[in-house]
C-alpha cells in the first residue's frame, strides 16, 4: 500500500458491507496512514445539520471491489452502493447529532485484502443555521461577469495545464483575465454605488477548449477556476462583503455541466446524464449536429395539454452540444447536487443562490433541492432563472402559489423578465391607449398573480440580455427613467456591472461577448478608468452619480423595501406610482412630454399628501405638495417625505 504520511494511531476498523449496520465504536482514534484516493466528494462535511445523512461519492480505480469501514464515534455506514463503473463507490452515512468534529480514516479493503485509506474531516459549523440571511427586497444586487470586471492578479491569467490558455482582450469570446481579486479590490466602488450584494457569474472551473470565460460549463463542482483565483480568494470575497454588511450570491447550475467534466471520461451509471447512450455512440464525431438538444419548450412544465415527448425533450435535451444534461432522476446525481449546494453555502457563508436555467431540470427534483436547502437554512434565499415574458409562468415557480397541478416549487424568488420588458416597451413606444406607459401600469397589475411580489427579482439588464442603454436606443433620459422605475418597484433589484456608466452592445445587439465587455479601469493601462472617473464622459459621470444617489436612498427606505404600492393609470404621457410605509412616502413620476407639463395633483388626493414637504432624491431640492406640479422636461422625478 502506497503511504503518504504517517500518524500516531489508536484505531480499530470495523469491516462492513451493504447488508449490515456499521460503525459501532470500540475506541477513540486519530487518522492513520493515508493514500488519499482520487476523489471523495463532498471533500469534507460538517456536524450539526438537521439532515443527519451524507452520501459520499468515491472515485478510485477498482474501488468498487472494496469494502469500506469507518470507526469514528457517531458515524455509521448504512449502505454501500456499487456503480456500473467499477471505479466508483457510493457510501451512505449517518452522522449522529452528538458527533464531534474531527478527522478520521475511511479504510477500503480490496479483494486481495490490501487496504487503501482516505482521511475525511467533519468540521464545526462557523455559525448557526438562522444566521445565514438571504437577500430580499431591501437588497440591490450587483451582477458581475468576473472575467470582464477587473484583473487583480495577472499571474493567474493563464495555465498551460488547462485546455484554453492565454488572454486576448480583443476577442469577445476569449479569456480577458478578470478575477476574484479584481472584485475584492473594488468593493469600495460597489458599496459606494449603493449595492448591498454581489452576484458573480460562476467561478468554478470550466476546463473547456474555448469560450470558457462565462463559467456555465463546469468541469468540477468543487474547484474554483484557477484563472479566477483560489478557494481562499472566494472565501475572502465573502468575508470582505460580510464585514461591510453585504452578501455574496453564488451562481449555480443544476441542469448541466461542461463536456470536459472529469466524470464524462468514466460515467458511474448508464443514466448519469440524459441521452447518455446517444452521446457515447456518437462521441467521436460529437457536435451541435449530433447532440439531442433541449427543445426549450419550458411551458411543458405547466401545460395541461403538453405531450410526453415535448416535456421529455425540454427536460432531458442538452442545452448546447458542450453542456451535458444532468439526470436529476438518478438518486445519486440528485444527492450529489444537493450536497454540493450545501457545501458551498457552508464553505463560503453565502447570502443566496441564483440557480441557472431553472425550468430545464426535473421539476420534482428542483422542489426537493430547494426544500433540502431551506430546511437547513430557513432564512436563506434562492432565485431561479425563468426566462419568460408571461407572468403566469413566472408565478408558477414561486412558493405558495396554488397551481392547478398541485406543484409546489418551494422557491421563494424567480426572475421578472416580464416586467423588465414592460418597462423597456413603455419607454420606447409612442403614447397611445394600448402602448407606452400603460405597459408598466398593466404589467404591475399582474402582481395579483404572485404569492409575494416583493420577493421576485427585477433587473434592467443582465449577462444574457442587451444592455439597457442599448435596449433604450442609447437615450440617457429613458435609461434614467428605467432605472428609477426598476428601483422603486416592489421587487428585489439586480443591476449588471457597467450599467451605471452606460455600457452598451449597440454594435452587435444581443451578442453575448459584447454584452460582457471589459469594465474600463479594471486592467492596468486602461485609458479610461470608471473606478476613478478618469476619461468618462459627462453623461457617464452623471449616470454614476444618479445610480449612487438612487441606490443609497433605496438602501435605507422602508417604503421602497416593504411599503404599500399605489399607482395611477398613465394620463397624457405621465405615470405616477407611490410607495408608502408609515410616515415615509416615495413618489415616482415618469414624464414622457418633451414640453413643460403641469401635473394636476388633486387627482392623487386619496394619498393625503397636500401640504407635505417632499425632497428630490437625486437633487435634494424640496417642494410642497399642493394643487399642481410643473414638470419642466421629459424624465423621471423621485420624491420622498424623508428629509
Structural domains of the chain, with CATH: 39-125 (2.60.40.10), 140-262+323-420+452-558 (3.20.20.80), 562-640 (2.60.40.1180)
641, burial (CB in 10 Å: exposed 0-12, middle 13-18, buried 19+): middle
Mean pLDDT to the nearest integer, 367-381: 98
Which residues are 637's β-sheet partners? 589
222-227 CB contacts, 8 Å cutoff, 24+ apart: 222/41, 222/42, 222/43, 222/340, 222/343, 224/180, 226/156, 226/159, 226/162, 227/147, 227/156, 227/157, 227/158, 227/159, 227/162, 227/175, 227/177, 227/179
User: How many C-beta atoms surround the C-beta of residue 276 within 10 A?
Assistant: 17
Mean pLDDT to the nearest integer, 531-537: 98
CB 585 within 8 A of CB 612: yes
Query: Catalytic pick from 105, 179, 260, 356?
Result: 356
Mean pLDDT to the nearest integer, 510-519: 98
Closest by CA to 487, choosing from 319, 617, 333, is 617
Q: Is the pLDDT of residue 93 over 80?
A: yes
- pLDDT confidence of residue 185: 98
Between 9 and 232, the more confident residue is 232
Q: Is the pLDDT of residue 2 over 80?
A: no
Query: What's the pTM?
Result: 0.94
Using CA atoms, how far apart are residues 242 and 249, in angstroms rounded to an integer?
12
CB 398 within 8 A of CB 452: yes
- pLDDT confidence of residue 33: 54
Closest by CA to 7, choosing from 117, 124, 122, 115, is 117
If DSSP codes are grouped into helix, strand and coil, which group holds residue 336?
helix
Task: Encode pLDDT of 454-476 as tens digits.
Answer: 999 999 999 999 999 999 999 99
Mean pLDDT to the nearest integer, 543-563: 98
Residue at grid coordinates 484505531 = 11
Q: Residue 262 contacts by C-beta under 8 Å, 6 or more apart in sequence?
A: 39, 219, 220
Q: Is the pLDDT of residue 6 over 70?
A: no
Q: Is the pLDDT of residue 78 over 90?
A: yes
- pLDDT confidence of residue 36: 79
538-545 CB contacts, 8 Å cutoff, 24+ apart: 539/476, 539/502, 540/501, 540/502, 542/476, 543/476, 543/479, 543/480, 543/500, 543/501, 543/502, 544/193, 544/500, 544/501
Q: Is the pLDDT of residue 135 over 90?
A: yes
Cis peptide before 562 (omega within 30 of 0): no
What mean pLDDT value characterizes the chain?
94
What confidence category does residue 294 fall into, taking pLDDT thresholds of 50, 70 and 90? very high
Q: Is the pLDDT of residue 96 over 60?
A: yes
Task: Encode pLDDT of 107-134 as tens digits.
Answer: 999 999 999 999 999 999 999 999 999 9
CB 325 within 8 A of CB 333: no
Query: Catalytic pick from 147, 181, 376, 385?
Result: 385
What confidence category does residue 428 fall into, taking pLDDT thresholds of 50, 70 and 90? very high
What confidence category does residue 35 fall into, taking pLDDT thresholds of 50, 70 and 90? confident
Task: Encode pLDDT of 243-267 as tens digits.
Answer: 999 999 999 999 999 999 999 999 9
Task: Encode pLDDT of 322-353 as tens digits.
Answer: 999 999 999 999 999 999 999 999 999 999 99
Task: Encode pLDDT of 162-202 as tens digits.
Answer: 999 999 999 999 999 999 999 999 999 999 999 999 999 99
Residue 385 falls in the annotated catalytic set: yes
Please tell me the number of Cα atoms within 13 Å of 36 on its side-chain side: 5
What confidence category does residue 371 fall into, taking pLDDT thresholds of 50, 70 and 90? very high
Using CA atoms, how far apart are residues 300 and 309, in angstroms rounded to an integer?
10
Residue 356 falls in the annotated catalytic set: yes
Between 397 and 24, the more confident residue is 397
* Rg of the chain over all Cα atoms, to the nearest angstrom: 27
If DSSP codes are grouped into helix, strand and coil, which group holds residue 575?
strand
Task: Encode pLDDT of 263-291 as tens digits.
Answer: 999 999 999 999 999 999 999 999 999 99
Task: Encode pLDDT of 565-623 as tens digits.
Answer: 999 999 999 999 999 999 999 999 999 999 999 999 999 999 999 999 999 999 999 99
Amino acid at each position: 500500500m502506497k503511504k503518504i504520511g504517517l500518524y500516531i494511531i489508536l484505531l480499530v476498523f470495523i469491516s462492513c458491507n451493504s447488508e449490515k449496520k456499521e460503525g459501532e465504536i470500540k475506541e477513540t482514534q486519530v487518522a492513520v496512514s493515508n493514500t488519499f484516493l482520487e476523489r471523495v466528494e463532498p471533500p469534507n462535511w460538517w456536524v450539526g445539520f438537521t439532515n443527519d445523512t451524507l452520501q459520499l461519492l468515491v472515485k478510485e480505480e477498482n474501488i468498487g471491489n472494496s469494502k469500506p469501514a469507518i470507526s469514528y464515534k457517531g458515524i455509521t455506514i448504512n449502505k454501500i452502493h456499487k456503480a456500473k463503473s467499477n471505479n466508483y463507490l457510493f457510501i451512505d452515512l449517518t452522522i449522529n447529532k452528538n458527533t464531534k468534529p474531527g478527522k478520521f480514516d475511511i479504510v477500503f479493503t480490496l479483494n486481495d485484502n490490501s487496504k487503501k485509506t482516505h482521511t475525511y474531516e467533519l468540521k464545526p459549523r462557523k455559525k448557526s443555521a438562522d444566521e445565514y440571511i438571504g437577500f430580499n427586497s431591501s437588497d440591490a444586487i450587483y451582477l458581475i461577469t468576473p472575467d470582464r470586471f477587473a484583473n487583480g492578479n495577472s499571474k493567474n491569467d493563464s495555465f498551460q495545464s488547462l485546455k484554453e490558455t492565454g488572454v486576448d482582450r480583443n476577442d469577445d469570446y476569449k479569456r480577458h483575465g478578470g478575477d476574484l481579486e479584481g472584485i475584492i479590490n473594488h468593493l469600495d466602488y460597489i458599496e459606494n454605488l449603493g449595492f448591498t450584494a454581489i452576484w458573480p457569474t460562476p467561478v468554478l472551473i470550466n476546463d473547456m477548449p474555448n469560450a470558457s470565460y462565462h463559467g456555465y460549463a463546469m468541469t468540477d463542482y468543487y474547484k474554483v477556476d484557477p484563472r479566477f483565483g483560489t478557494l481562499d480568494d472566494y472565501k475572502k470575497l465573502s468575508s470582505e462583503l460580510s464585514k461591510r454588511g453585504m452578501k455574496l450570491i453564488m451562481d449555480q447550475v443544476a441542469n448541466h455541466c461542461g463536456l470536459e467534466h472529469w466524470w464524462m471520461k468514466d460515467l458511474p451509471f448508464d443514466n448519469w446524464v440524459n441521452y447518455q447512450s446517444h452521446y457515447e455512440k456518437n462521441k467521436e464525431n460529437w457536435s451541435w449536429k449530433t447532440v439531442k438538444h433541449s427543445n426549450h419548450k419550458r411551458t411543458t412544465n405547466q401545460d395541461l395539454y403538453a405531450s410526453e415527448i415535448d416535456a421529455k425533450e425540454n427536460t432531458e435535451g442538452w442545452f448546447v452540444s458542450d453542456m451535458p444534461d444532468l439526470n436529476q432522476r438518478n438518486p445519486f446525481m440528485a444527492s450529489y447536487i444537493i450536497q454540493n449546494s450545501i457545501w458551498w453555502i457552508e464553505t463560503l457563508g453565502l447570502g443566496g443562490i441564483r440557480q441557472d436555467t431553472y425550468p430545464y431540470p426535473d421539476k420534482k427534483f428542483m422542489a426537493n433541492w430547494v426544500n433540502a436547502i431551506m430546511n437547513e437554512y430557513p432564512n436563506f434565499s434562492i432565485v431561479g432563472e425563468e426566462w419568460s415574458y408571461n407572468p403566469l409562468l413566472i408565478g408558477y415557480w414561486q412558493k405558495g402559489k396554488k397551481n392547478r397541478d398541485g406543484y409546489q416549487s418551494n422557491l421563494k424568488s424567480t426572475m421578472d423578465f416580464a416586467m423588465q420588458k414592460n418597462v423597456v416597451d413603455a419607454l420606447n413606444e409612442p403614447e397611445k391607449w394600448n402602448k407606452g406607459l400603460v405597459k408598466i401600469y398593466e404589467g404591475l397589475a399582474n402582481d395579483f398573480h404572485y404569492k409575494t411580489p416583493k420577493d421576485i427579482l427585477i433587473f434592467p439588464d443582465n449577462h444574457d440580455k442587451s444592455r439597457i442603454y442599448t435596449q433604450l436606443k442609447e437615450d440617457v433620459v429613458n435609461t434614467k427613467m428605467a432605472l428609477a422605475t426598476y428601483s422603486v418597484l416592489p421587487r428585489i433589484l439586480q443591476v449588471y456591472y457597467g450599467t451605471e456608466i452606460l455600457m452598451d452592445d449597440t454594435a452587435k445587439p444581443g451578442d453575448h461577448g459584447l454584452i460582457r465587455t471589459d469594465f474600463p479601469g479594471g486592467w492596468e493601462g486602461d485609458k479610461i478608468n470608471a473606478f476613478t472617473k478618469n476619461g468618462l464622459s459627462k453623461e457617464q459621470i452623471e449616470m454614476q452619480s444618479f445610480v449612487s444617489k438612487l441606490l443609497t436612498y433605496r438602501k435605507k427606505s422602508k417604503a421602497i423595501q416593504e411599503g404599500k404600492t399605489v399607482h395611477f393609470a398613465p394620463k397624457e404621457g405621465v405615470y405616477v406610482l407611490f410607495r408608502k410605509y408609515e410616515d415615509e412616502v416615495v413618489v415616482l413620476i415618469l414624464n414622457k412630454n418633451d414640453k413643460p407639463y403641469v401635473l394636476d395633483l388633486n387627482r392623487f388626493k386619496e394619498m393625503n399628501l397636500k401640504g407635505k414637504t417632499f425632497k428630490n432624491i437625486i437633487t435634494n431640492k424640496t417642494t410642497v405638495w399642493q394643487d399642481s406640479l410643473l414638470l419642466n422636461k421629459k424624465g423621471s422625478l423621485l420624491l420622498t417625505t424623508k428629509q
